[in-house]
A and B are shown apart, each in its own frame.
Chain A
Amino acid sequence: MRRVVITGLGMVSPLACGVDASWERLLAGRSGAGPIRGFDASDLACKIAMQVPRGDGSNATFDPDRWMEPKDQRKVDDYIIYAVAAATQALDDAGWHPRTEEERIRTGVLIGSGVGGLGGISETAVILHEKGPRRVSPFFISGRLINLPSGYVSIIHGLKGPNHAVATACSTGTHAIGDAARLIGLEDADVMVAGGAESAVNRIGIAGFAACRALSTAFNDRPKQASRPYDRDRDGFVMGDGAGCVILESYEGAKARGAKIYAEVVGYGMSGDAFHITAPESSGEGASRAMQAAVKRAGIAPQDIDYINAHGTSTPLGDEIELAAVQRLFGDKASERLSMSSTKSAIGHLLGAAGAVEAIFCTLAIRDQIVPPTLNLDHPSVATPIDLVPHKARKRQVAFALSNSFGFGGTNACLVLRAPD
């Protein structure tokens, strides 16, 4: 397979609109959490979330008008607007604006979403019930489908290559980047816009994830302390909205056009737990196989990994299972020189966008040789030789980074990124 590199980054996160501002705030230890705004949360078990900061674009706020015509915004749920914003940023960052027909045909899009337009589906169901089918918008379907971020991005930017989407719950963003890299590796495309987008912070989304006991409910009065992966007091994840997109290119293509290369996608591994619809399998065997597959594909040993961006959602079960699986796979000696943090402590769990945003954080960790912190890790629930990067970002060597994502249904995906040569 051809080598594949990352040449552009784009992001809308609960910390900021934009990669640089999100990264700076992440390294500064800031949290995107707050009381839920925009809808009534008074009767919900979880009253907090990590929502995208909206504004006029100043101070890295998200101004939807900058990314999509107001008349089109009305037709879609927010995850599509976030995806368009992240993809546009990434294309600009890569300096890739295909002009010839051949360039367009060789550029594809693969952006996924965990749940798609949950908010719009919920609102339209009420309209159908109260006003009847004649009041259902002709844009109801097209504004809620999982693959429509890919559709909108291809239409807006004229990208005529493979147009694909992934829906693997919380592993979506990682699968999207891994699969897109393979499409380039196998020469189906030369350039891919890949990532994930989510806007599930709405009444039905919070009610649903709270019903399956996945969300934090004990920190409604202290939102910034709620996401606390590996801490003994953690009680569930905090949901976040946003999108992340990367530009992937063949190594030769990127070199030939003189593009800046952030990192190389050297490993991608997948597995299934075959265990439970929502609970992680207790031995972490499935997660471990995905990590092993990614490391093997990269042609390295686990000991070569410097930094892991953990799945680490801050749920009582999942965090320790992942930690134990990593420790077993790496062994005691390698664990001692490994840093592993969960950036979900600062941005929350972006579900289908999580893997994409976290792969970008891994890319930046490689670029800047610094690892972002795990906030709120006051009292680790188990002892580990692994550096979990509590509270503060840490300067260190990062040649290889591993990004983990594990999703409902028992779907696991891991990426290994390497510093450019």
Chain B
Amino acid sequence: MSDVAERVKKIVIEHLGVDADKVTDDANFIEDLGADSLDTVELVMAFEEEFGVEIPDDAAESIVTVGDAIRFLDKATAS
């Protein structure tokens, strides 16, 4: 697992209170991990804080799975 993936999954586990084995790349925050819309707002804020990046609202809306978040943050931190 990449460093980014590990950090993303750690945040998801902590914020949503879910078991680690459920936090797969395909896992949808709302449908699979029990998040509501406010939880996803908070998750995006936690990603921003952890990685020191800004995730604009339109980009945040397209981050619906764990994999989406990892891919976005991989790109954002590489540049």
Binding site for B on A (CB under 8 A): 69-72, 74, 134-135, 137-139, 142
Within 8 Å CB of B16, what residues of A? 71
In the complex, the answer to whether A138 meets B17 with C-beta atoms within 8 Å is no
Specify the main secondary structure of chain A where it touches its partner. loop
Within 8 Å CB of A142, what residues of B? 38
Sample of 15 further A-B pairs with CB below 8 A, known A69-B17, A135-B45: A70-B17, A71-B14, A71-B16, A71-B17, A74-B15, A134-B45, A134-B54, A135-B49, A137-B42, A138-B38, A138-B41, A138-B42, A139-B38, A139-B42, A142-B38
Specify the main secondary structure of chain B where it touches its partner. helix
Within 8 Å CB of A74, what residues of B? 15
Return B20 CB to nearest CB of chain A, in Å: 14
Return A133 CB to nearest CB of chain B, in Å: 11
Return A81 CB to nearest CB of chain B, in Å: 15
- B16-36 vs A: 1/0 string, CB under 8 Å? 110000000000000000000
Among the interface residues B14, B17, B41, which one has the most CB atoms of the partner chain A within 10 A? Answer: B17
Return B19 CB to nearest CB of chain A, in Å: 12
Closest to A136 in B: B45
Within 8 Å CB of B42, what residues of A? 137-139
- B36-61 vs A: 1/0 string, CB under 8 Å? 00100110010011000010000000
What are 22 A-B pairs with beta-carbon distances under 8 A? A69-B17, A70-B17, A71-B14, A71-B15, A71-B16, A71-B17, A72-B17, A74-B15, A134-B45, A134-B48, A134-B54, A135-B45, A135-B49, A137-B42, A137-B45, A138-B38, A138-B41, A138-B42, A138-B45, A139-B38, A139-B42, A142-B38
Within 8 Å CB of A135, what residues of B? 45, 49
What is the bound-complex CA distance between A72 and B16, given in angstroms? Answer: 9
Return A11 CB to nearest CB of chain B, in Å: 27
Binding site for A on B (CB under 8 A): 14-17, 38, 41-42, 45, 48-49, 54
Return A114 CB to nearest CB of chain B, in Å: 26
Within 8 Å CB of A72, what residues of B? 17
Within 8 Å CB of B15, what residues of A? 71, 74
Within 8 Å CB of A138, what residues of B? 38, 41-42, 45
Within 8 Å CB of B48, what residues of A? 134
Return B43 CB to nearest CB of chain A, in Å: 10
Within 8 Å CB of B54, what residues of A? 134
Within 8 Å CB of B17, what residues of A? 69-72
What is the bound-complex CA distance between A36 and B14, given in angstroms? Answer: 29
Closest to A135 in B: B45
What is the bound-complex CA distance between A72 and B34, given in angstroms? Answer: 13
Within 8 Å CB of B45, what residues of A? 134-135, 137-138
What is the bound-complex CA distance between A74 and B15, given in angstroms? Answer: 9
Closest to B14 in A: A71
Give the 6 A-B CB pairs with smallest separation, nearest first. A71-B17, A138-B41, A138-B38, A138-B42, A69-B17, A70-B17
Return A139 CB to nearest CB of chain B, in Å: 6
What is the bound-complex CA distance between A69 and B54, given in angstroms? Answer: 29
What is the bound-complex CA distance between A69 and B34, given in angstroms? Answer: 13
Closest to A131 in B: B49
Return B10 CB to nearest CB of chain A, in Å: 14
Within 8 Å CB of B14, what residues of A? 71
Return B72 CB to nearest CB of chain A, in Å: 17
Closest to A69 in B: B17
What is the bound-complex CA distance between A138 and B43, given in angstroms? Answer: 10
What is the bound-complex CA distance between A69 and B14, given in angstroms? Answer: 11
Return A378 CB to nearest CB of chain B, in Å: 50
What is the bound-complex CA distance between A69 and B16, given in angstroms? Answer: 10
What is the bound-complex CA distance between A142 and B48, given in angstroms? Answer: 22
Return B18 CB to nearest CB of chain A, in Å: 8
What is the bound-complex CA distance between A287 and B37, given in angstroms? Answer: 48
Among the interface residues B16, B45, B54, which one has the most CB atoms of the partner chain A within 10 A? Answer: B45
What is the bound-complex CA distance between A129 and B42, given in angstroms? Answer: 19
Return A347 CB to nearest CB of chain B, in Å: 32
Return A362 CB to nearest CB of chain B, in Å: 39
Within 8 Å CB of A139, what residues of B? 38, 42
What is the bound-complex CA distance between A15 and B41, given in angstroms? Answer: 39
What is the bound-complex CA distance between A71 and B15, given in angstroms? Answer: 6
Closest to B37 in A: A138
Closest to B49 in A: A135
Within 8 Å CB of A69, what residues of B? 17
